[in-house]
Chains A and B, each alone.
Chain A
Amino acid sequence: MKLKLSWKIWMLIVFLILSAIIIAPSFQKGVTIKSVEKNSTAYDEGLRTNMIITAINGEKINNFQDYTNIINSIFPNATTDTATASVSSQNLSKLNNSNINKTLQNNTSSSNKNKIKLTITTKDSDYILFDDIPPSITVGDIPSSRIKTGLDLSGGARALVKAENKSLNANEVGDLVAITSNRLNEFGIADVTVKPVSDLSGNNFMQIEVAGATPADLNDLISQQGKFEAKIGNETVFVGGKQDITYVARTGDQSGIYSCSAYQGGEVCNFRFAISLSAEAAQRHSEITGKLGVNATNPQYLDKQLDLYLDDKLVESLYIGKDLKGSTTTQIEISGSGTGKDQKEAYTEAQNSMKKLQTVLITGSLPYKLEIVKIDSISPVLGKEFTTNIIYLGIIVFIGVAIVILIRYRKIKITLGVILTMFSEAIITLAVASLIHWNLDAPSIAGIIAGIGTGVDDQIVIIDEALSSGSDTRSLKEKIKSAFFIIFTAFFLTIAAMIPLFWAGAGMLKGFALTTIIGVSIGVLVTRPAFSDLVKLIIKE
């Protein structure tokens, strides 16, 4: 049999090949680096985002579980979260528990002895790290294809935020987005997207999405305005942000937890880190301290303290050394503490407060007091189960439709044609979705299935028009033309029905509308013309 394919069928084949290239399933083993903390050994040695780690110290790494197992066996004291599939290593402590009771100075000298050699093998080369702590990187499993799944399937959190008692315009939301993404970045949350969204009534929101497991303090980080003020009496010496603070130490000797002790039946851990003030802020410091006297009970200090306020709440009061009186110092040490029922809890608490404070000092305060109006956090475990089930569902739908078509037409070729077309539509829709970096959530996938459903309907119309006989004297071409009138009307009806969803409800259901529209468009433009030619071929035979 000589099979001559029309250009429409060729076009479908080309689209399918392109889609396969776009989706490109990956069989690569290893873990991918999602983020590298700057000022870390890992960064200095040249490890970067998107590199693929295949082995550590010669031991093969196939997935995230392998990575955590190896890191845990090398650094048994470090706290890693092993339970999640794509947890970030922000839980890996910068200083591990064995160092807690040492002072900052001792810490550095002693840790030299504990340094462990780590050979990290990536796809292209080896990196050798000497360190006493696990590498400051975030890793995750390599995605098996370029299809991205949304929150409800991959797990993670999404928040919709607006200003309290104020409606923001597009520019204000833009500023807010810039500061917030900076803040989340500085805090070290990987895989986060912050973007402005608006709804039908013209309200503007900021939407934050974090993939994978989410840090417990995300809520705080987003909603805290982060207004930091250092005051002596009621005079402000400096505030958070670039204007007053030129540098915040976050690694090395100048930052860390330096002591832990028993406190009121629990434990307390103290942290400190150094910051540099700008010239103006140093000048203010000099003027304000110049007016102070010496503390009567503690003569080595001045009589007023430096009070640190975060969002108008006093978080810490620091004594000021008497030699700092009137000096235009640019170096200030910030300290604070964390408490808990045991040392580990106090340590983690102190570490989190330190990190939050550092983040706020670097990024400055948000221009508005914020309110979280919607927050969803989806368990990655549940998401994984859903994904598997959706794949099952897809297979069942294909088989079901095939059976119905086979029973009705009793022709294997037509049934195969229908299934092939359905399959092509699904593949091309997925490819388009990954091309525009659309995260497929549950409604999006429902949209794809609904789109395929309409596709099958249209194919049935084509088959029935083409096969119509008896008193119908039209040529095959005319019949197909008449089928396409029905198909195009149905197409425009679907588009018309779905378009309002692009804006309603801050675009929460945009995915559903988008994938449906992509699906039916591909159907009308690519797969149905090809299918009608296929039907012509089958009938002529």
Chain B
Amino acid sequence: MEANQETSHEHHHSKSDWYDKWYKPLLVIPVIIMILCLAYIGFFYSEHHTIMLRDSSLTGGTTITITGGNIDTVSLGSQLKAQFPDVIIRKLTDIRTGKPVSVMIESSATPEQLKPALEKVLGFSLTDQNSSTEFTGSSLSQSFYAQLMIALVISFILMSFVVFISFRTFVPSMAIIFAAFGDIVIPLAIIDFFGVRISAAGIAAFLMLIGYSVDTDVLLTTRALKRKGGTLNSRIYGAFKTGTLMTTTALVAVLPSFFIVTALPDSFRQIFFILALGLFADIFNTWLTNASIIKWYCTRRRIE
């Protein structure tokens, strides 16, 4: 081999050799991440008796959002704690200007109990001009939560059906479903770790994730199994180039709602937060897990 003729083809070859050697060990990484996440969720469940913390729309109670938010949240919290031990206060700040946008006060109490107490501490009255109030009864919220969980399971099952009908082969289909499962488990573990309280809209985002994140897996599987021409590695690498661009643009669509435009409805931000986590998780799940399984499957079936 002549040293001055190191073409991109050869370069590609060396990458290819590397992948041939390492694809099986690479599979270990996502499996370990997945086991850690599941273990953490299990631990979280044993601590909190729920797989995720929920906000008042799913546990029952009241959320009052005060516009402007020039409020000393620390002293507000300590004054309200006496009467409402479960009160949670969050302050939303505009990242660009550092100006407070709004303050959210959450408790399991009813608005009739919480509002007057809050007004007393604040020293001004809450009208529909300066505040928003959201109340959900506790039995309703329990049933909403249960239903959304059922919806999540149904959604997952329907997704699995579509995958099986589209590809009609067991291992590649299972690989996609496994990746989709990871796309839910990893964000959930991260959310639990940070103690984020999930709203109804947040669970809807998990459903969306099921449909959204598997796009890249479908791309990979189609390119690897159905496209003719090129080596298997070059097809996988081509899919990787397309897929990462897809994920990048999706993240570009999702991330500005945290870093650039922060004063957005909470439900909106939560949907995008969960989608962003899922998209990140999907990079691992598609290009480590799913790609390795597909490569393994194709090698055994002698699909080149």
Contact flag A396-B148 (CB < 8 Å), given A386-B263, A454-B215, A473-B229: no
**Known contacts A386-B264, A386-B265: A452-B253 contact under CB 8 Å:** yes
| B132 A489 Cβ-Cβ under 8 A | no
Using a CB–CB distance below 8 Å, which chain A residues touch chain B? 83-84, 152-153, 155, 157, 160, 199-201, 203, 213-214, 371-382, 385-386, 389-390, 392-393, 396-397, 400-401, 403-405, 408, 442-443, 445-447, 449-450, 452-454, 456-457, 460-461, 464, 468, 470-474, 482, 485-486, 489-490, 492-501, 503-506, 508-509, 512-513, 516
A108 CA / B165 CA spacing, docked (Å): 78
For residue A504, which residues in chain B have a CB less than 8 angstroms away from its CB?
144, 147-148, 150-151
CB-defined contacts of A473 to chain B, threshold 8 Å: 228-229
Among A393, A405, A464, A486: residue with most chain B CB under 10 A: A486
Q: Are B204 and A460 in contact (CB under 8 A)?
A: no
Task: With CB as the reference atom, state the residue of chain B lying closest to A153.
Answer: B265
By beta carbon, the residue of chain A nearest B220 is A486
- Distance, CA A470 to CA B241, complexed state (A): 15
State which residues 196-242 of B face A: CB under 8 Å.
200-201, 204-205, 207-212, 214-215, 218-219, 222, 226-230, 234, 238, 241-242
A496 near B159 with CB under 8 A, answer yes
The number of residue pairs between A and B whose CB atoms lie closer than 8 Å in the complex comes to 254
Known: A376-B133, A456-B253. 5 other contacts (CB 8 A): A385-B67, A464-B241, A473-B228, A497-B210, A505-B147
The residue of chain A having its C-beta at the shortest distance from the C-beta of B133 within the complex is A377
Q: How far is the CA of A392 from the CA of B262 in the complex (A)?
A: 11
Q: Is the interface of B mostly helix, strand, loop or mixed?
A: helix
Taking CB atoms and an 8 Å cut-off, the chain B residues in 133-153 that contact chain A are: 133-137, 139-140, 143-144, 146-148, 150-152
In Å, the complex CA distance between A53 and B264 comes to 34
B296 at the interface (CB under 8 A from A): no
Q: How far is the CA of A158 from the CA of B267 in the complex (A)?
A: 16
B256 with A393: CB separation less than 8 A = yes
Q: How far, in angstroms, from A376 to B154 measured CA to CA in the complex?
A: 28
Q: How far is the CA of A189 from the CA of B67 in the complex (A)?
A: 25
B158 near A499 with CB under 8 A, answer: yes
Contact B129 A380 (CB under 8 A): yes
Is B65 on the interface with A (CB-CB < 8 A)? yes
Main secondary structure of the interface of A (DSSP, over half): helix
Residue numbers in A under 8 Å from B2 (CB-CB): none
Given A404-B248, A450-B212, check contact A443 B204 (CB 8 Å).
Answer: yes
- Find chain A residues with CB under 8 A from B128 CB: 84, 155, 157, 213-214, 377, 379-380
Question: Which residues of chain B are within 8 angstroms of A378 by Cβ–Cβ distance?
Answer: 132, 134
A471 and B67 contact, Cβ closer than 8 Å, known pairs A401-B252, A512-B208 = no
- In the assembled complex, how far is the CB of residue B294 from the closest CB belonging to chain A, in whole angstroms? 15
Q: A446 with B271: in contact, given A464-B242, A497-B207, A505-B148 (CB under 8 Å)?
A: yes
Assuming the contacts A453-B253, A498-B208, A512-B208, asked whether A396 and B261 have C-beta atoms less than 8 A apart, the reply is yes
Contact present for B267 and A489 (CB under 8 Å): no
Contacts of A200 in B (CB 8 A): 147, 150-151
Whether B245 is near chain A, meaning CB under 8 Å from some CB there, is yes
Q: Given A397-B253, A497-B159, A504-B148, do A389 and B264 touch, yes or no (CB 8 Å)?
A: yes
Contact at A450–B135, with CB atoms within 8 Å? no
Report whether A482 and B226 are in contact in the complex, using a CB–CB cutoff of 8 Å: yes
Q: CB distance A474 to B159 under 8 Å?
A: no
Q: In the bound complex, what is the Cα–Cα distance between A482 and B246 (angstroms)? A: 17
Given A386-B264, A496-B211, A512-B201, is A379 in contact with B219 using a C-beta cutoff of 8 Å?
A: no
Q: Within the assembled complex, what's the spacing in Å between the Cα atoms of A382 and B69?
A: 12
13 A-B contacts (beta carbon < 8 Å): A375-B111, A376-B134, A382-B67, A386-B263, A390-B268, A393-B256, A400-B256, A401-B252, A404-B248, A449-B253, A453-B212, A453-B254, A460-B246
